[in-house]
Amino acid sequence: MPSNWQKRRFIEQLHEGGVVAYPTEAVFGLGCDPLNRDAVFKLLALKGRSQSKGLILIASDFPQISAYIKPLPDAVLSTIHTEFQEPTTWLLPVKSWVPEWLTGGYKTIAVRLTQHTLAKELCELAGMPIVSTSANISGCEPMRTAYETRLRFSAKGVYTLAGSVGSAKAPSRIIDPFLNKQLR
C-alpha cells in the first residue's frame, strides 16, 4: 500500500498536468486531469492512442461525474447505482462544454464509478474524476504490476503509484444503458 506521501505526490503530479499510473480493478491505468488538454495529449502520445477513440473517466462517486453528463432518467440512474460484481463503464450523454479530447467527438462520455479502493481514494483526494486508460502501448497487453508499469513509463515522466490491481480478470465492460447494449 502506498504511503500518504506517495499519494500526495500522485495528486501533485495530477494537478500539475502530469501523467500518472495507478492500479485499477483489472490492470494498471494511465491517467491525468481530464480538463488539462496538454496532459491528455501527452497520455495519448505515450500510448500511441487516437483521440477519436475517446477516454474513460473514473470517479469515486456520482457527483464527481455529474458535471460532465446530461441529466439522466431515473431508470438509468437506478441501473448505474446498482452494485455490479464486475467493473462497469457507462456510456452517458455528455454536456456540450466537455472537450472532444475526452469524448473522441461522440455525444457520449465513458464513465466508471470505480470499485477499486485505492483508485477510489485517489479520485477523492484529487477532488475530481481521473482519466483512466490501460497502462500499455495501444494494441499491446495491459500491465498488471507497478514494477512493469514503471519500467515502461517512468523514463517518460509518468509517476507510478504502487499497489495491487483488483481481482477482475478483464478490463471493465462498457455498457450503453440507453440501448441496453454491452459494447465490450
Rounded Cα distance between 19 and 34, Å, is: 11
Output the pLDDT for position 81: 86
Integer Cα distance of 14 and 122 in angstroms? 10
Asked if 37 and 101 count as a contact pair (C-beta separation under 8 A), the reply is yes
H-assigned helices in 16-145:
37-47, 62-66, 74-80, 100-103, 117-126
CA distance 78 to 80: 6
pLDDT for 85 equals 78
Smallest Cα–Cα separation from 130: which of 183, 65, 77, 69? 65
pLDDT at 144: 96
Per-residue pLDDT, 56: 98
Which residues are CB-neighbours of 118 under 8 A, at least 6 positions away?
1, 2, 22, 23, 161, 163
What was the pLDDT predicted at 171?
87
> How much is the pLDDT for 1?
84
Domain residue spans of the chain: 4-182
Q: Class for domain 4-182, per CATH?
A: alpha beta
| Strand 173-176 versus strand 108-113 pairing type | unpaired
For 49, the grid coordinates are 492512442
- pLDDT tens for the chain, residues 1 to 184: 899 999 999 999 999 999 999 999 999 999 999 999 999 999 999 999 999 999 999 999 999 999 999 999 999 999 998 877 789 999 999 999 999 999 999 999 999 999 999 999 999 999 999 999 999 999 999 999 999 999 999 999 999 999 999 999 888 999 999 998 999 8
pTM of the prediction?
0.95
Q: How many CA atoms lie within 13 A of 58 on its CB side?
A: 30
Helix, coil or strand: residue 30: strand
Question: What is the reported pLDDT for 6?
Answer: 97
Question: What region does 101 belong to: left with phi over 0, alpha with psi -120 to 50, or beta?
Answer: alpha
Tell me, what's the pLDDT at 15? 97
